[in-house]
Amino acid sequence: MRTTTTPDGKMMVHEEAVACVAGLAALDCPGVAGMAARGLHDGLAEILGHDNPHRGVEVELDERRCAIALDVIVTFGVRIADVAEELIRRVRTAVERSTGFPVERVEVNVQGVRRPGEEGV
């Protein structure tokens, strides 16, 4: 959790809130078919059918930095390097605008490829 004190009060932002912003921005990126499960928690949520807006997102947040790692599934036929570059730009912009925190890095891990209309990860 990151705490920022201003003359008007205190703002606390949890990693999960940042992950939600990043995940929603990632899903809006052309060429991203979906988010991949990241670790046991996301895998269990998938099995149990829980909707998880921060699925596939890991956030490291402290007083000095914000780092984000994304596990994504891309659409078949896209140029992966172009999708990753646009994904980094969109996620960085969304998180910085939402929170005011500078994003040190965004890491994109392409976990798979999905054909249009194909279900699952």
Query: How does residue 100 score in pLDDT terms, banded at 50, 70 and 90?
Result: confident
121 in a structural domain: no
* CA–CA distances in Å: residue 34 to residues 60, 63, 80: 22, 30, 14
Looking at residues 73-83, what average pLDDT do you find?
96
pLDDT digits (tens, 9 = 90+) for 24-71: 999 999 999 988 886 655 544 443 334 577 889 999 998 878 999 999
**pLDDT of 107:** 97
- The verdict on residue 25 lying in a domain is yes
**Residue 30 included in any domain:** yes
Task: Report the distance separating Cα 116 and Cα 16, nearest Å.
Answer: 29
Query: Is 13:101 a contact under the CB 8 Å cutoff?
Result: yes
Question: Is the residue at 53 inside a domain?
Answer: yes
CATH at 60: 3.30.70.1350
Task: Collect all residues with Cβ–Cβ distance below 8 Å to 24 and sequence separation of at least 6.
Answer: 53, 94
> What are residue 67's DSSP bridge partners?
60, 105
In a domain, 5, yes or no: no
Provide the domain limits for residue 82.
10-114
- For strand 9-13 and strand 2-6, is the pairing parallel, antiparallel, or unpaired? antiparallel
> Would you say residue 2 lies in a domain?
no
Percent of the chain with pLDDT over 90: 60
Give the H or E element holding residue 99.
helix 80-99
Domain count, the chain: 1
Residue 98 covered by a domain: yes
